[in-house]
Structure formats: C-alpha cells, structure tokens
Chain A
Amino acid sequence: MTPLLIIIPIVLLVGVLALVAFMWSMRSGQYEDMDGAAQRILDDSADDHPPK
C-alpha cells in the first residue's frame, strides 16, 4: 500500500504538468499556424518563434 501512496501522487502530478504545458502552448499561440510551423522548420533563417 505504501508505494502506491507515493507513486500515485507522482503519476497525477506528471499528468497535470503535461496538461498545464498543453494549455500554455495553446495560449501562447503555438497552434495558430500548424502548416506554417511545418514549413518554417525547413528554413534556417526564418523566425520560428510562435507569434505574439
């Protein structure tokens, strides 16, 4: 039982972190131009930061 009490919070924490990371990436506009991001990676001199 004891290992469970340690592991479960860790698992949930990692999950929540991933969720927060996704929400952040959405808010910062990384999904606004999916096609553009795919092309910009091919161009070394291009600005590949998300907009804003």
Chain B
Amino acid sequence: MSCCAPGIEAANELADKGQSKIDNESIIAGSIDLKDGRRQVELAVPDVHCAACMRSIESELSKLELVELGRVNLSTKRVKVIWRTQNDFAPTELVDVVNKAGYRAMLLEAEDENAKDKTFGQLVRALAVSGFAAINIMLFSISIWSGADASTRDLFHWISALIAIPAVAFAGQHFFRSAFGALKVGRLNMDVPISLAVILALGLSVFETANSGEHAYFDASVTLLFFLLIGRTLDHLMRERARSAVRNLASLAPRGALQRLEDGNHQFIKLNQIEVGMQLDVGAGERIPVDGVVTKGQGEIDLSLVTGESAPEPIEKGSVLLAGATNLSGLITMQVQKPAHESFLARMVSMMEAAEGSRAGYKRIADRAAEIYAPVVHVLALVTFLGWGLYNGDWHHALVTAIAVLIITCPCALALAVPIVHVVAAGRLFEQGMMMRDGAALERLAEIDYVAFDKTGTLTQGKPRFVEMIKGAQSELEMAVRLARLSNHPFSKTLASAHKDVSAIDFDEVKEVGGQGVEANCAGDVWRLGRAQFCGAQDAGEEGLSRVYLSKNGEYLASFEFEDQLRPEVPTLMERLRGKVSGIVLLSGDRKAPVQLVAKQLGLSDVHWGLTPQDKLNQLTALEAAQHRVLMVGDGINDAPSLQAAYVSMAPSSAADVGRNAADFVLTRDRLDQIPFALTLAKRAANAVKQNFGLAIAYNMVAIPLAIMGFATPLVASIAMSTSSILVTLNALRLRIDAKERKIDVPRSSEQKVMPAE
C-alpha cells in the first residue's frame, strides 16, 4: 500500500529523532492493571492514517499469543492493547511489533479512568435530549400556530410542558452552573442572560399554560438550548482534540530512569522517585532526566533543546549535566544532584509561571461582548416591564412582554458567533498541520505584527549537514565515509548518509572513543576520524561551522565541514512573512558565528545571540513595551518562558515538552511554512467574528423594538432565533472557502528525507 510509505520511513528515522527508548519497566509503569491478570496500555502511533495502516498494526498485534485486544483508534492515533501478563513475556514486544509493522510507537501515560473526559459525554447527552425535545415540541407548536382550537392548544401546551421541563432541567445544567458560578463571584458572563432567558421562558410558559393562555414559549426555550449546546459541544471537541494531540507528543519524554544499585544491578524508578545522590544510567539516545554530574563514562551530549547551542558538547567524568539534554554517545553513569522538581527543567517551568504573559490580561471577544450586552439587555427588559406597567396598569401583560424581550434578545447568535468561527478555523488549521490550543489564541494571532524566531531546532533542523571537504582528496573522503559508518555520532551519520555509494571495506579493531571520535585498523594503518586533537590537527572550526578531522597513523590528512541545516521551507517563509508583519527578530542562545551565518542566509538584520532564557524574555518585554504584538516561534526548553510570555506562540512538534505545552499552536507536521497561512486565517476569522456580531446586532435592532412593543409572539421568536443562528453559522463556514490564499500543498515526509542527502 503506497500510502503507508511515510510510516515505514518514519520507523527507520526513529533513531535519528533522539527519542527516549521504551523499556519493559516503563511500559508496566504506564499500563493499567485490569486486576484479572491482564494489563492495558495505550501507545501513540502518530503515523497511522488509513485502513491498511490499522489492519497491519492490528494483525501484527494479534499474532502475539498473549495479546487479547489490539485496537487502533484512527481519530486519536492511538493503539489500545490489552494483554495477559505472564512471566516470560516482555511488554516491549508490543512496541517492537508495531515498529515491525512500520510505525513509530510511543508510550502514553496511563490515564486514570476517572480523569477521562466526562464533560464531552455530558454535552453530547444534553445535546441529544435537547434535540429530541426541540423537534417534538416544534411539531406541536406548528399545529398551534396553524390555528388549533383552544382545547387542543391547551392539550398541546401541556404535552410540550411535560417534555420541556425535564429536558431543560437536564440539558441546561451546563449553563446554569456556569451562570451561577459567575454570579457568585459578582461577575456577568454570557451564560447569565442565557440561563435567565431559558428559565423565565419556561416559567412563563408553564404559568400561561396553567391559565389556558394563548402563547407559550416552550419551543423557544428548548430550541435555544439546543443551538447553544451545538456551539458548546463543538468548542469542547476542538479543545479536546488539541489536548489529546499534545498528549500524544508528550509521550516522547522520559518517564523515569534506570537506577544503578550498589550491587551493580539496575532498577527502573519513576521520575518523582529520583533522589539526590542516586546513581543513574543513561543510554545513548536517551534524555538526561534530572540535573547531575557524570561519574562514569564519557561522550557527547546534545544541548540544542536546552540552550540552543548547535554543536554537541563533549562530557567526561565530573561534567555537569542539565535535564533535557540528549546523550549522544555510549552509556554514561551520572550522580543526581537535584531532585526532579528542582532541575533545570523545573526552573524553566517556574520561570514560565512567573512570566506574566501579555496574554494573561487578554479577555476573549465573547466575554468582552457579554460584559456590555448582558446589562443592556437586562435594563431593556426592566424598562419594558415598568413602561408597560405604568402605561396601562396591566402588570401581567407587562411581565409577559418583558420576558418576551429577554427571550428575543437572548444572545443565541452571539453565543454561537464566536465558537463556530473558531471551530471552523481550527478545522482548517488542523488540515494544514497546526494544532490550536483554544479560540483565544486565534483571536490574538490576528493582532500579530512582529515575529520572533528561535534558531536551533526552529529555523534550523537541529541536525548537521555536510558542507564540504577542506583538505584532502577523494580517496580520503571515501575513507572518512567508511569510518563514519562505524559511528553513531550525528556528524558521522550525516557524512555516511551523504555518500551512500562508497564501497565498503573491512576494518578490524574498531573502537569508538567517547567524546573524541572513532578509530579503526585497516591493513596495518590506524585511521582516526573525530575531533582536532584526536587527529593531531589544529582546530579551525569557528565561523559558524563545525569540523571533523581524519588522520592516518596520527598524521592529519583531511577535514570536513558541517553546518546546522536550515529547514528547507525557511527562506520562502521569511519572504512571505515580510509582507505580513512589520518586523522579524532572531533570538538565539547559540554562539555568535552560527547565528550570524543563519541571519546572513535569511537576510535578517535584527539578530541576538548568546541569550539566556531570561534575556529572551527581556527582549520580548522590550518589544511589547514598544507596542508590538509578538508571535514567538521556538522549540527549546530555553524558549519555554518566552513562549509563555509572548502574545502568541508556536512550537514545532519536535520541540521539548515544556515548550510544546507553553505554546498556543503546535505545528504537527514539523514544518514552518504554515505560519503565513495561519496568520491570514486568523485575520479572516477575526473578520468573520466581527461580521457575526454585526449580524447579531442587526437582528436585535429589528427584533427588540417588536418585542418591546409586545408583538413578539412565540412564532416570531422562533423564526428570528433560528434565522440568526443559521446566518451566523453559514458566515463562519465561509472560512472553509479559500478566497485569496492558495491551498499550499504539503509534501509528505518522503520528500523531506531527501534533503539532507543532497
């Protein structure tokens, strides 16, 4: 099945992504004990996307004897596996089997059954009940409007009451609770006028029915709830989808660590059980779980997520390790110096909490509208009541009219206007590979006029690219490639994958010297590939590039230059952004040379390097002070506080967990070229919201005078309400049609993969 090719490639790429390996202990820790000798675990499989994908995973899983259930959920991109525990069964087999089928699998934290999303179920149930009630009551209402005689009308009113009262009591809870909560703290939200209108309409209708009155508003109150619940459910669905996608990504983080006991054995412990003084083993490709010092082993660590530094840093006994860095070469043993909650990572989190983002003061458009709208409506109803009462002394009529005003003005279109636009926009963004955290982020994105980028891992891919050979001939290049194939170092891997056609020869006595390079014997000669001093050369690899050297019997022969590769889409992205925002700034924690190199390639003039997380924050604050609304795009742990503080923020899916959790938008395709699209869409969405408010206000301009004059019969109320809701929805759906922006075709990861090999 050709459509499944990306999945297979992704599995091959697995090792490149620096993701933490899954071991038996973490699977057991992440699974739920079903008590009867069975366990259940959920794995995230981000690459499934078709029927064949599901089948290959499910059939591979069912081949395992102990697996009772293996089921792929395509909507959430997860596999649920239930297996019978038995001593000789290693749960990693589950992961291996999924990998064998050609898909990446990541372990998801076991979710407490109680913590599962109940609100959604409640909302859908409320929606079903109110929909049922609305349809049936409407049937009776239509016969009443067509001129049923008095006794039939009374009967129908009673039946409607019988349906409406329990339906409102059940379906309206969501609004009543929220309104009550707001009133308790002395605030007004959109739910206050909604609840008031629904309850009053119901109460008045029951009163009218009991007195054989001509008009009852059962249909209005239930239909109102139905429409509002549609908006709420969609809104919730959107947020839940974003949340679960972010949770899928979070499964990349280490869940615990391997403790080295005094007798030399190992024990898996959870992150929160790590104590100061413990000895931990960190394998190649794993993330450092907490801050500490190296006690055994040497090698290199990748700090690109932590500080933005693009070149790997050598470590040896006594080197300080920061949580979040990735161990690139062999096994190291570290001593814990700080517990998990005091590590570098945790300090970033507390800095994020302290970073009082400009978004904190942001109030959603709907809430701002409610603050004006609700008092106006309530005053209008009161004035109507007093006006009519004083005018003709008929207080019953005055009350009926005042309630009609409340029903007619109930912000149905208003409450639907904003969520429906956001849901449609979120759907568009999702198709283009962007997850939106909530609607408020979209509203803020529309106001952006400045963009700040991080460098390492954001503008660049965070992995090296082979540039050129400085010294040496073709034969030396070939030798270097052969040596590089023996090593797992990022530079070696790049060199090897850039020259796949070089013929292989046999080495003996291959030795990888941690933090230095690789050494091998061939026909009596000792070849070395690695750092300058390891190969007897002078290190000249400054000016933004990194170099690797080759030597034969200690004699320096050749050197090879690498750079951190720009993402292929970045140059065009910059071009397109320049037309949309007033300024672009580069904020990096990396050294001066590589930052300036990138700036030169992209033609950026506003560039800052060597920034600490606090410096980045200060830069953002300065921009805010200059009345700029800044969009921050970053991926590292060091970007997390600024992602939190910026007006809006985005993070690629390769970002560190804290960064992803702080960002308003997560780019699920790990590409940046959707940013201009998102900006345009946000602006269009903001316009659509304004138009919807305009529609709602126009509707009220017509309806309110009618209601105040006492002409608002239930028929008028129903028609007016439904029409305005439908208009607002249709207007929001216009966002699905592309007006100016052409649809951008996003190549699958197969094309991306070709790039480093060029």
Query: A: which residues have CB within 8 A of B?
Result: 1, 4, 8, 11-12, 15-16, 18-19, 22-23, 26, 31-36, 39-40, 42-43, 45-47, 51
B159 to chain A: which residues have CB within 8 Å? Answer: 8, 12
Residues 143-179 of chain B: 1 if any A CB is under 8 Å from the residue's CB, otherwise 0? 0000000011001000100010000000000000000
Residue of B nearest to A31 (CB): B124
| CA of A38 to CA of B133, assembled, Å | 30
Query: A41: shortest Cβ distance to chain B, in Å?
Result: 8
| CA of A19 to CA of B166, assembled, Å | 14
| CA of A16 to CA of B151, assembled, Å | 25
Would you call B132 and A39 a contact (CB within 8 A)? no
Residue of B nearest to A5 (CB): B155
Given A15-B135, A39-B74, A46-B54, 17 additional A-B pairs, CB 8 A: A12-B136, A12-B163, A15-B136, A16-B132, A19-B128, A31-B124, A33-B73, A33-B74, A33-B76, A34-B75, A36-B72, A36-B74, A39-B50, A39-B51, A43-B55, A46-B51, A47-B71
B125 to chain A: which residues have CB within 8 Å? Answer: 23, 26
Query: A14: shortest Cβ distance to chain B, in Å?
Result: 10
Residue of B nearest to A26 (CB): B124
B300 to chain A: which residues have CB within 8 Å? Answer: none
Query: B: which residues have CB within 8 A of A?
Result: 50-52, 54-55, 58, 71-76, 80, 121, 124-125, 128-129, 132, 135-136, 139, 151-152, 155, 159, 163
A22 to chain B: which residues have CB within 8 Å? Answer: 128
Would you call B71 and A46 a contact (CB within 8 A)? no
Would you call A23 and B135 a contact (CB within 8 A)? no
Residue of A nearest to B78 (CB): A33
Would you mind naming 29 contact pairs between A and B with Cβ atoms under 8 Å apart?
A: A1-B152, A4-B152, A4-B155, A8-B159, A11-B136, A15-B132, A15-B135, A18-B132, A19-B129, A22-B128, A23-B128, A26-B124, A32-B75, A33-B76, A35-B74, A36-B54, A36-B72, A36-B74, A36-B75, A39-B50, A39-B54, A42-B51, A43-B52, A43-B54, A45-B55, A46-B58, A47-B58, A47-B71, A51-B80
B50 to chain A: which residues have CB within 8 Å? Answer: 39
Query: A39: shortest Cβ distance to chain B, in Å?
Result: 4
With A32-B75, A36-B74, A39-B50 known as contacts, the answer to whether A26 contacts B121 (CB < 8 A) is: yes
Q: Which of B71, B129, B151 contacts A51 (CB 8 A)?
A: B71
Q: Which of A15, A26, A32, A46 contacts B73 (CB 8 A)?
A: A32
Would you call B75 and A35 a contact (CB within 8 A)? yes
Would you call A19 and B74 a contact (CB within 8 A)? no
B163 to chain A: which residues have CB within 8 Å? Answer: 12
| CA of A19 to CA of B128, assembled, Å | 7
B72 to chain A: which residues have CB within 8 Å? Answer: 36
| CA of A22 to CA of B125, assembled, Å | 9
A36 to chain B: which residues have CB within 8 Å? Answer: 54, 72-75
Query: A28: shortest Cβ distance to chain B, in Å?
Result: 13
B121 to chain A: which residues have CB within 8 Å? Answer: 26
Would you call B75 and A33 a contact (CB within 8 A)? yes
Query: B626: shortest Cβ distance to chain A, in Å?
Result: 45
| CA of A19 to CA of B336, assembled, Å | 58
A-B residue pairs, 7 tightest by C-beta: A36-B74, A39-B51, A35-B74, A43-B51, A33-B73, A35-B75, A19-B132
A32 to chain B: which residues have CB within 8 Å? Answer: 73, 75
Residue of A nearest to B128 (CB): A22
| CA of A15 to CA of B75, assembled, Å | 30
| CA of A42 to CA of B159, assembled, Å | 45
Query: A52: shortest Cβ distance to chain B, in Å?
Result: 9
Query: B93: shortest Cβ distance to chain A, in Å?
Result: 21
Residue of A nearest to B159 (CB): A8
| CA of A45 to CA of B52, assembled, Å | 11
| CA of A34 to CA of B124, assembled, Å | 15
A4 to chain B: which residues have CB within 8 Å? Answer: 152, 155
Residue of A nearest to B162 (CB): A12
Query: A31: shortest Cβ distance to chain B, in Å?
Result: 8
Would you call A40 and B51 a contact (CB within 8 A)? yes
| CA of A4 to CA of B564, assembled, Å | 79
| CA of A18 to CA of B50, assembled, Å | 32
A1 to chain B: which residues have CB within 8 Å? Answer: 151-152
A18 to chain B: which residues have CB within 8 Å? Answer: 132
Residue of B nearest to A49 (CB): B71
A12 to chain B: which residues have CB within 8 Å? Answer: 136, 159, 163
Residue of A nearest to B69 (CB): A51
B155 to chain A: which residues have CB within 8 Å? Answer: 4
A16 to chain B: which residues have CB within 8 Å? Answer: 132
| CA of A32 to CA of B136, assembled, Å | 28
Query: A38: shortest Cβ distance to chain B, in Å?
Result: 8
| CA of A11 to CA of B121, assembled, Å | 27
| CA of A12 to CA of B135, assembled, Å | 11
| CA of A33 to CA of B139, assembled, Å | 34
Residue of A nearest to B70 (CB): A47
A33 to chain B: which residues have CB within 8 Å? Answer: 73-76
B58 to chain A: which residues have CB within 8 Å? Answer: 46-47
